[in-house]
Structure 1
């Protein structure tokens, strides 16, 4: 029988989503990226995180427009991957509870947030 200290299924599902975002961001931050490699890095990130338990879907968009702007005045053909080059959506399905989370730039910071929670609470 649950007590006041037991997390709800929805809270556990949100925790699972947070683990996925922490892994995605910190596993790939600093990876060399260019407009030419953006698609393959997106795919690698998606497939890597989809391996984790309860992960229903991952969509990673490497913002090539931002990459191209970063590289416009650079002698290099690549830069390192940071949150400002990413838009990410992760969907977790945990015990009939679906959590949709997103990461996007907000006021110069890659903000990760819970967009919706549907199902058990």
Structure 2
């Protein structure tokens, strides 16, 4: 017997796909303190054009970037621990708030659902 997939489950799937794509597409990108803001904007704009994205904010931790800079060339590679993302996916009557943020205890950039709002149809 098959169960109906809910709008909230579809919204969660969409959020997970977007955060996973973001992580795997952009980690390893060259970054410096001078280019951090433009990379934040490029990441956000790239994800924002995908279906069901209502809003996205991307922040890159400048302190971590500064600590990783190559002294000779002045840049490093973007790592998951440097990125904080807030994402809202709107799918039918559901708004799902998701995030990605580095969790020190896990030593991992954890992606999670923060909140789900559903309106009456």
Report how far residue 76 of structure 1 moved.
Answer: 3.3
| Alpha-carbon separation, structure 2, partners of 1:48 and 1:87 | 16
Counterpart residue number, 1:86:
83
**Residue correspondence of structure 1 range 1-121 to structure 2 within 5 A:** 5-71=3-69, 74-106=71-103, 107=105, 108-119=107-118
What do you get for the CA RMSD once the two structures are aligned? 1.7
Query: Is contact 1:13–1:99 with CA below 8 Å preserved after alignment?
Result: yes
Provide structure 2 residue ranges, at least 5 long, that are not aligned to the other structure. Answer: none
| Alpha-carbon separation, structure 2, partners of 1:117 and 1:60 | 20
TM-score (norm 1): 0.90
| Alpha-carbon separation, structure 2, partners of 1:84 and 1:120 | 34
Provide structure 1 residue ranges, at least 5 long, that are not aligned to the other structure. Answer: none
TM-score (norm 2): 0.90
Superimposed CA distance per residue, residues 21-60 of structure 1 (whole angstroms, 9 cap, x where no aligned partner): 0111111111001111000000000000000000000100
